[in-house]
Amino acid sequence: MDSFEQRLENLREKKGYSKKEISHKLGFTDNVFGSYERGERRPSFEALIKLADIFDVSLDFLIRGKEYKEDSNLTQNEKALKDITKYLANKGIKSPYFLQSQKWAILSKEDIKELNDHFEWVVEKAKVRRQRENG
């Protein structure tokens, strides 16, 4: 993985700027950005924000060299629920009734089993229909 200094140099070169140009964009004298690239100085928080904007990258990428992944902290079930919600939204269902958690409070264990069984039945029915359409 690139060091912070290497990342600054690579980003600057990719955008086609000189060290002096970046220093001026930050509001500093000619040599400030060069001292960041050489590791002689560290940019302030405010300068980091400006650099991220200039290079059109996230602060996470600028500082750590990788993007923050929101999903990395989710459990497998939370990821699955997020995927299902996204899938439903793509199908035009923005607020599915069965994902409204307050509705589940009145359901018994038997009610939940019946819902699960019904869902399994609908999935099997869809499989058969798809096989007929493709076969």
Report whether pLDDT(70) > 70.
Answer: no
Q: Contact 23/32 with Cβ under 8 angstroms?
A: yes
Q: Are residues 8 and 37 in the same domain?
A: yes
Question: Distance between CA 4 and CA 39 in Å, rounded?
Answer: 8
Which tens digits make up the pLDDT trace of 78-118? 888 888 888 888 888 887 888 888 888 899 999 999 999 99
Report whether pLDDT(12) > 90.
Answer: yes
Q: Are residues 77 and 120 in the same domain?
A: no
Could you identify the residue written with the tokens 């050489």? 38
Report whether pLDDT(29) > 80.
Answer: yes
pLDDT above 70 coverage of the chain, percent: 96
Cβ atoms < 10 Å from Cβ of 18 = 13
Question: Distance between CA 50 and CA 55 in Å, rounded?
Answer: 9
Domain carrying residue 120: 108-135
Report whether pLDDT(33) > 90.
Answer: yes
Q: Are residues 48 and 91 in the same domain?
A: no
Report whether pLDDT(1) > 80.
Answer: no
Question: Distance between CA 80 and CA 71 in Å, rounded?
Answer: 11
Average pLDDT of every residue of the chain: 90
Q: Contact 111/119 with Cβ under 8 angstroms?
A: no
Q: Are residues 51 and 8 in the same domain?
A: yes
First CA to last CA distance, the chain: 50
Q: Are residues 88 and 126 in the same domain?
A: no
Q: Is the pTM of this model over 0.85?
A: no
Q: Contact 60/67 with Cβ under 8 angstroms?
A: yes
